[in-house]
Amino acid sequence: MKYSADKRTVLTLDAGGTNFVFTAMRGNEQVVDEITLPSNADNLDRCMSTLLEGFREVMGKLSGKPAAISFAFPGPADYPNGIIGELPNLPAFRGGVALGPMLQEKFDLPVFINNDGDLYAYGEAIAGFLPYVNGLLENARSPKRYRNLLGLTLGTGFGAGIVRDGNLFVGDNSSAGEIWLLRDKLNPGMNVEEHASIRGVKRVFAREEKINFREAPEPKIIYEIAAGKREGNRKAAITAFREMAEATGDAIANAITLIDGLIVIGGGLAGAHEIFLPHLVEEMNSTYTGPNGNIYRRLTAHAYNLDNPAELQKFLSGSRKEIQVYGSEKRVAYDPESRVGVGVSAIGTSKAIAIGAYAFALRMLDS
């Protein structure tokens, strides 16, 4: 369901460990300039005062009363009840903080809090990657359409959200989509986030360059070295992104076997997709070896890199054909190829999260 023409306004927040960024959304678009305030992450009283101040300032810029407050906040948390747990980046939150009920009481508004990976996926399903790909399929006269989406954020950490048939899937413990806890293929004693993150890329580059981790440049610089846009150890830079791609592709392949839908990638590392995405998709299309030496695909579906024009064309074309209905002159379109598409966010991670927060609030109000 799209809310691009909806006239209701929802207050939103981008909650980081250093700053809180407040704004408001209407019709899937930002309608108030962002207000940035320090998060005061080490002091609960000051942190809560900042939240109240930010939302009050946004409300002061609106002509009418908003319909709700909806935003992403780090976990662990009991999101449906608005209770935030122990947060490593926000040390003031200890022992459980009833953030949602506090805001609801102060502003007399419904309050909805979710994980950023969930809202990112929901935003991409509402107004981003999912309708974009389905539009391309429609223009290509393909009978294929997608209703499910796995949204991934690659940055400080490795997050995920699942949208099934237009509904955000959060799980019974608000813990659906915790892809970062899957096992790391390249180091099975660790979870995959140790490769699928900014620190993972820096760590591998430092290892290959034989320098201390603290001396490793940021991934943007490592990407520029890998792409030949900057002087440096190009082999080390390429290895850093290839290892990230292999570990991440393995985790995505495991996840998509249970979800079966499109895959969209956002987050800070997505900007380097031209370097890592081909290897990530290659990993998804890799094979298993059976006990008798037989080789078979690890996925029933073929994964396509939708940022590659040639692969995009094959994905859109599929194996379309017409078959005759038994006992009838009627013929029907049929595409027997099982396939999933992998691509990078076109609307941007922050906007997708904001749209997701907006749409989630309105959907909950309407239900």
Q: Considering the domain boundaries, does residue 366 fall inside one?
A: no
- Considering the domain architecture, whether residues 105 and 159 belong to the same structural domain is answered as no
Whether 186 contacts 156, CB under 8 Å: no
* Helical segments of the chain, H only: 44-59, 99-107, 116-127, 129-139, 198-209, 219-226, 234-259, 273-284, 309-317, 349-366
Residue 86's domain spans which residues? Answer: 9-114
For residue 280, which of 169, 123, 154 has the smallest C-alpha distance?
154
Both 160 and 289 in one domain: the answer is yes
Are 24 and 106 contained in the same domain?
Answer: yes
Let me know whether 25 and 74 are in one domain. Answer: yes
Asked if 358 and 70 count as a contact pair (C-beta separation under 8 A), the reply is yes
Instruction: State mean pLDDT over 113-129.
Output: 94
Q: What is the pLDDT of residues 220-275, one digit of tens each?
A: 999 999 999 999 999 999 999 999 999 999 999 999 999 999 999 999 999 999 99
Residues 146 and 252 in one domain: yes
At residue 160, does pLDDT exceed 60?
yes
Residues 269 and 336 in one domain: yes
Under 8 Å between Cβ of 152 and 139: no
> Does residue 352 form part of some domain?
no
State pLDDT tens for residues 21-70: 899 999 999 999 999 999 887 888 999 999 999 999 999 999 999 999 99
- Mean pLDDT of all residues belonging to the chain: 93
Same domain, 209 and 296: yes
Tokens 């370097």 found at:
275
Considering the domain architecture, whether residues 133 and 105 belong to the same structural domain is answered as no
Q: Is the peptide bond before 88 cis (omega within 30 degrees of 0)?
A: no
Task: Give the count of domains, the chain.
Answer: 2
Q: What's the CA gap between 72 and 120, in Å, rounded?
A: 9
Which residues does residue 23 pair with via DSSP β-bridges, in sequence order?
12
Task: Indicate which CATH number applies to the domain containing 214.
Answer: 3.30.420.40
pLDDT (average), residues 327-349: 91
> Residue 122: is its pLDDT beyond 70?
yes
CB atoms within 10 A of CB 235: 12
3 falls within a domain: no
Compute the distance between CA of residue 292 and CA of residue 13 in angstroms, rounded to an integer: 55
Inside any domain, residue 119: no
3-class secondary structure, 213? helix
The answer on 143 and 51 residing in a single domain is no
Do 85 and 139 sit in the same domain of this protein? no
Same-domain status, 230 and 144: yes
Strand partners, 145: none
Residue 333 lies in a domain: yes
CA–centroid distance for 367 within its chain: 25
Nearest Cα neighbor of 162 from 35, 263, 269 is 263
Place of tokens 């399929």: 137
What percent of the chain is modeled with pLDDT above 90?
77
Q: Which of 85, 114, 143 is the last residue of a domain?
A: 114
Q: What percent of the chain has pLDDT over 70?
A: 99
Confidence (pLDDT) at 89: 66
Residue 354 in domain: no
Euclidean distance between CA atoms 252 and 149, whole angstroms: 12
Collect all residues with Cβ–Cβ distance below 8 Å to 132 and sequence separation of at least 6.
346
Q: Could you tell me what percentage of the chain is helix, strand and coil, using 3-state DSSP and rounding each to the nearest 5?
A: 40, 25, 35
Residue 120 domain-assigned? Answer: no
CA angle, 81 as apex, 78 and 87 as ends, to 5°? 35
Task: Answer whether residue 135 is part of any domain.
Answer: yes
Residues 32 and 166 in one domain: no
> Distance between CA 40 and CA 45 in Å, rounded?
9
pLDDT at 1: 55
Residue 336 banded pLDDT, cuts 50, 70, 90 = confident
Q: What is the pLDDT of residue 41?
A: 79
